[in-house]
């Protein structure tokens, strides 16, 4: 089970404490709620980030959603084929919820077949599996694949664009608006570096099993082999996504991500002057993230954090822990400054259920509060025999 980050909830949207469980403030792309959060000042690296030569850029830590560094991250820009990230998201969602299957056949219309620009070279009036179209969409950046998927899932390109915009709103992409599924230039079609990072994070977190498609380096369809346009996939095996884009209006764009150990960073560059510049920019951002920050494990899932005396129960003690593994993103080399304190009840009385919040662990760094972790029983605790309950009742009153 991957480690989850925990962090401060003040001045952000309200997350029910039970849902937060072992981490506070999952900036819940999964739940549809979102509030932008920069890395807390007291955890910020003192080293200045790189400055990619591009119109805008953003560096995001994937688990927390913390914005590590950015420039013009909310400026609206033409996304070009970065648009296909949302097309991929909706295709993944349809597969995951059973609306479609990978083997389902999709009719290739004349409109899809005629799509200009990058293509997977579909044949008109044929039927192609959804699985093949998704590979052509992601690996080959096929505009024809994007249109075919849009027509199948949305009934039409405009119908699918409505679905795209609904999902963007749900994910908190407040500066994004789609007009088509491919990213071909048109008016009122835009996104931002930050929204692109946000969408990338949602894909990684919500569809981890399908995300692997973004790391495939080449794909052959119709006897035509095409390479993935994301050159970072050949530079370092830790780079495993996501998507490139280019038009004259958009410039050269790239959303990239890399995972090393249990830490993942997402870098986005929009409006660079060349393929080389966009790749160098994203790589520099992500390397900065890994060089300046590390994920520090606090404790593992379902392991004993505290053991308390238990009154009126079958057992005399109860082990408390978290159902989730807990870790904290910190400046590299500062793990020793992480401090833990506990808030626990004076007397613990049965019965207890595993989802009861018994107390919490407070985490701080150099006197600054990072967050808290609710503690819960690692197993249900039933009432003991009547005579034992009576005896413990006396002990509770006396002591």
Active site residues: 81, 84, 141
Q: What angle do CA 170, 171, 172 make, to 5 degrees?
A: 95
The whole-angstrom separation of Cα 397 and Cα 399 is 6
DSSP 218-245: EEEETTEEEE-S-GGGGT-TTEEEEEEE
Spatial distance between the Cα atoms of 226 and 315, rounded to a whole number of angstroms:
64
Q: Give me the half-sphere count of Cα atoms (radius 13 Å) on the Cβ side of residue 69.
A: 23
* Residue indicated by tokens 């795209």: 164
Other Cβ atoms within 10 Å of 316 Cβ, number: 11
Q: What angle do CA 56, 143, 228 make, to 5 degrees?
A: 70
Q: Which residues contact 82 (CB under 8 A, 6 or more apart)?
A: 183, 191, 196, 243, 244, 245, 250, 253, 255, 270
Let me know if 153 is exposed, middle or buried by CB neighbors in 10 A (0-12, 13-18, 19+): buried
Extract the tokens encoding 203: 């894909």
Cα 236 to Cα 25: distance, rounded to the nearest angstrom: 32
CA-CA-CA-CA torsion sign (195, 270, 267, 67): negative
**CA proximity to 114, closest of 104, 122, 106:** 122
Output the CA angle 324-328-332, nearest 5 degrees. Answer: 150
d(CA 202, CA 319): 34
In the block, which residue shows the tokens 């790391």? 215
């Amino acid at each position: 089970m991957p480690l989850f980050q925990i962090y401060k909830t003040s001045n952000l949207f309200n997350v029910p404490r039970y849902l937060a469980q072992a981490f506070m403030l999952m900036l819940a792309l999964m739940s549809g709620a979102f509030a932008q959060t920069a890395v807390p000042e007291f955890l910020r690296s003192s080293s200045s980030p790189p400055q990619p030569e591009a119109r805008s850029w953003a560096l995001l830590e994937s688990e927390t959603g913390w914005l590590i560094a950015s420039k013009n991250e909310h400026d609206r820009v033409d996304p070009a084929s970065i648009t296909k990230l949302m097309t991929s998201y909706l295709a993944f969602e349809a597969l995951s919820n059973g609306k479609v299957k990978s083997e389902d056949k999709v009719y290739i219309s004349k409109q899809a077949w005629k799509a200009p620009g990058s293509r997977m070279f579909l044949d008109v009036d044929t039927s192609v599996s959804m699985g093949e179209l998704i590979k052509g969409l992601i690996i080959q950046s096929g505009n024809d694949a994007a249109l075919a998927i849009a027509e199948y899932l949305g009934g039409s390109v405009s119908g699918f664009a409505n679905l795209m915009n609904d999902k963007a709103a749900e994910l908190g992409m407040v500066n994004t608006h789609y007009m088509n599924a491919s990213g071909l230039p048109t008016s009122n079609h835009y996104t931002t570096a930050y929204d692109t990072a946000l969408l990338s994070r949602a894909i990684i977190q919500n569809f981890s099993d399908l995300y692997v498609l973004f790391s495939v380096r080449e794909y052959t369809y119709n006897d035509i082999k095409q390479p993935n346009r994301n050159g970072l996939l050949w530079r370092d095996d830790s780079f495993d996504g996501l998507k490139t884009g280019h038009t004259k209006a958009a410039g050269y764009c790239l959303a990239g991500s890399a995972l090393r150990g249990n830490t993942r960073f997402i870098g986005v560059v929009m409006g660079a002057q060349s393929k080389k510049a966009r790749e160098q920019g994203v790589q520099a951002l992500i390397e900065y993230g890994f060089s300046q920050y590390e994920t520090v494990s606090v404790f593992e899932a379902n392991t004993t954090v505290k053991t308390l005396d238990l009154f009126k129960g079958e057992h005399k003690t109860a082990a408390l822990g978290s159902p989730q593994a807990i870790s904290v993103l910190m400046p590299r080399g500062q793990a020793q400054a992480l401090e833990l304190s506990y808030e626990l009840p004076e007397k613990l009385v049965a019965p207890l259920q595993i989802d009861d919040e018994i107390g919490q662990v407070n985490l701080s760094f150099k006197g600054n509060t990072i967050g808290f972790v609710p503690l819960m029983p690692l197993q249900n605790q039933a009432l003991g025999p009547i005579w034992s309950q009576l005896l413990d009742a006396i002990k509770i009153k006396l002591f």
